[in-house]
Amino acid sequence: MNTTKKIELLKKALEKFNETAGMKINLIGEEYAVMPNLRADAIVRLTTHGIDKEFVVEVKTKLTTATLGGAVMQLKRFPQKGLIITEYVNPNMAERLKEMDIPFIDIAGNAYINEPPVLIYIKGERPVEIYPRETQARAFQPAGLRILFAFLCKPELLNAPYRDIANTAKVALGTIERVLNDMKKAGYLIDMGKRGRRLKDKKKLIDKWVTAYPERLRPKQVIGRYRTDDFNWWKNTLIQNFQGYWGGEIAAAKLTQYLKPEFATIYAREKTAHLLLEKKLKKDINGNIEILNVFWDFKYVWQYPDLVPPLLIYADLLATTDARNIETAKIIYDQEIIRLIRED
């Protein structure tokens, strides 16, 4: 979403809130620099009942289960209290945000702000469509997401022959040039001729990747859901013996020693019959184990050969919208993802 549309959405939401809640939130500034290299979409001030409270704002056109984790993660980076402003928050999403104590306002009039002695909680107002659906760029369609993942995890691939990029990202050869051109137009790629290609604005690129991945690429990789009565089975399982990697909560637990996993995510390179049989995993659409296909063909160089690359662990955690997983995602961001951003 461009800046003009963001500000338009922001002003419409504030106007609706002031009308519905009978209170006043004023726009103080746009494109607000919270600190060096960290910007919010805006800063606003709530003044009512003796309260004078500023919020930094994250504007999201569409707030879905897939995009919620990234939005919450962005707010957690800010030292001030954050506020999500979006087009529409459905009742289930409103409950989820309330549970996490994340303030929000939408243009339909739904809102949650808890600043004692003021508590505002409005849900169930019907959505108001103000923007047509935007055509998604190729770089954030499934094939483009595979290519971006390979570039972000293996930067030297940027200057490899197209065939090598295609093989590594497991996409058709003809896709490469179209995605690279799309990235150039969007300002994420600089072609310096003989000096090679470089990614630009990696932080924003990573934020967009982790938002798009659970909606557009992840569902296509799911092999199935399974259940086991002994959830500690993973502790004594060498997943590499089954041509697989741990993702999600188990990978995060191994990486940070912070999280007690309740759900297992496995990315597998080969057929999984041997794993299912040996570990007695039973097919269950609501099971606590999910197995997905590996969608890349490279070895990520780090000290955890049984885990997927950290970018994918981070994306898996955010996609759950679980508060404890988002908190762990922040640790992984500070520990691993920042390093990806800083790499040339």
Give me the amino acid identity at 329. Answer: A
Residue ranges covered by each domain of the chain: 3-122, 138-200, 214-342
Structure tokens at 270: 């080969």
pTM of the model: 0.83
Q: What is the DSSP track for 109-129?
A: S-EEEEETTEEEEE--PPP--
Pick the CATH number of 138-200 from 3.40.50.720, 1.10.10.10, 1.10.645.10, 3.40.50.1970: 1.10.10.10
Structure tokens at 275: 């794993």
pLDDT for position 24: 86
User: Cis ω on the peptide bond leading into residue 132 (within 30° of 0)?
Assistant: no
| Domain 3-122 coded CATH 3.40.1130 | no
181 vs 243: CA distance, rounded Å: 35
pLDDT bracket for residue 5 (50, 70, 90): confident
Query: Could you report the per-residue pLDDT of 274-319, keeping only the tens digit for each?
Result: 999 999 999 999 999 999 999 999 999 999 999 999 999 999 999 9
Task: Name 125's Cβ contacts closer than 8 Å, sequence gap at least 6.
Answer: 20, 106, 108, 109, 110
> What's the sign of the alpha-carbon dihedral 224, 225, 227, 232?
positive
**How crowded is the C-beta side of 95, counted as CA atoms within 13 Å?**
3
Q: Are strands 51-60 and 282-283 parallel, antiparallel or unpaired?
A: unpaired
4 vs 99: CA distance, rounded Å: 31
